[in-house]
Structure 1
Amino acid sequence: MPFKEKILIALNLIILLLGSIYFLQSLNFEFVLYVAVLVLLAAFVYRLHRKFNLSFTVLLGLSIWAWLHIAGGSLPFEGSVLYNWQVLDLIGEPYVIFKYDQFVHFFGFAVTALLFSECLKPSLSQSARLTLAVVSFFAAMGAGALNEIVEFVATVLVPETNVGGYYNTALDLVFNAAGALVAGLYIFFKKN
């Protein structure tokens, strides 16, 4: 295993451990659940990496996504947490665009589409770039829907969460799609 991957694993373990300790101490069971999901996803990505030799770019992107998620639920910001920060005031209530949460969804599902493309590419011909881009886009969208199910489960299992209502879920899906679309376009136009 290359040294930079070892460093990335160590950083992920440290951040997940610190996040777990923080969320347990603050009795934030919503994020305790999310950390457990991140651990399962990390194990899944490890298996994918062993099979498909994922690029360091995708591994780093997935790690940054996890770090952004941990930071979003733990770092205090303007009387709340970073996830509630409205980065730009593009559209106000009831939609509230553009929030840190929406950026994390955009970024995360762009990286997810890249992950799927690296897993699918070996089974497709070199000329199947459109197929690779479209299937990676829809696979990332499916993963985004699964993410929203995990958020819904959190609202069922944990009495108080920071998960928003219907508008939040819909906007999460929109930003998942936007990130996956940008990645899909990158996959299609990338020369190699």
Structure 2
Amino acid sequence: MPGDRLTLTRGEWAILVFTLAYVAGFTVSFLLRGNYEFIIYVATMALLIGLVGWNLRRAAFPEPMLAALSLWGLAHMAGGGIPVGDSVLYSLPLIPIVGTGEMTILKYDQLVHAYGFGVTAWVLWHLMAHNHPALRGSRTIYVYPALAAMGLGAVNEIIEFGAVLMVP
């Protein structure tokens, strides 16, 4: 309702302050180093924080879910903001299961994306369960969020590729 104020719980405040602190810190770091590709990520984070905040009560996001989303954002920002050798954390091979160079599996980037889109599937499941309780216990409530999270992961890769091409 217009004029209604959103009252945050203590846990929600903690998650919000934590999230805004790391976003601000990485924003300053990206600007100081001229890492303009990741400024696009900052704008995306601002949009997503606003979207979650706008729907916080309507969607009834539980605090652990908000914390998981915040940690995904932190891992993402750290991936582009923490230098490792001549590159950044995102390029760091964690466990060289197969491949070399850009084709290495398992890199930090891949782990963050797996975690993040796992959290996305959880959020989508929650939204379906919250808004369509009759679906609880059905295959649909598990399959649709998983497929949607994979689709969003693909869209994310396209956006990341576009950001790499747009920013020299």
TM-score clears 0.5: yes
What secondary structure sits across from 2:139 in the alignment? helix
Give the C-alpha shift of residue 127 in structure 1.
4.6
Q: Contact 1:65/1:108 (CA < 8 Å) preserved in 2?
A: yes
Whether 1:110 aligns to 2:118 is yes
Cα separation, 2, equivalents of 1:47 and 1:69: 22
Q: CA RMSD in A?
A: 1.4
What secondary structure sits across from 1:125 in the alignment? helix
The one of 90, 93, 102 aligned to 1:83? 90
Cα separation, 2, equivalents of 1:114 and 1:40: 20
The answer for the alignment partner of 1:66 in structure 2 is 73
- How many residue pairs end up in the alignment? 159
- CA deviations on 1:10-50 (whole Å, 9 max, x unpaired) are 01111111111100111101001111111101111222322
When normalised by structure 2's length, the TM-score is 0.89
The one of 52, 55, 65 aligned to 2:62? 55
User: Please, which runs of 5 or more residues in structure 2 have no aligned partner?
Assistant: 1-7
Opposite residue 62 of structure 1, the aligned amino acid is L
Identity of aligned residues (%): 35
When normalised by structure 1's length, the TM-score is 0.78
- CA deviations on 1:52-110 (whole Å, 9 max, x unpaired) are 11111211111000000111111122332111110001102262011000000000000
Give the C-alpha shift of residue 8 in structure 1.
0.6
Q: Contact 2:92/2:107 (CA < 8 Å) preserved in 1?
A: yes
User: Please, which runs of 5 or more residues in structure 1 have no aligned partner?
Assistant: 160-192
Q: Point out which structure has higher relative CO (alpha carbons under 8 A, 6+ apart).
A: 1
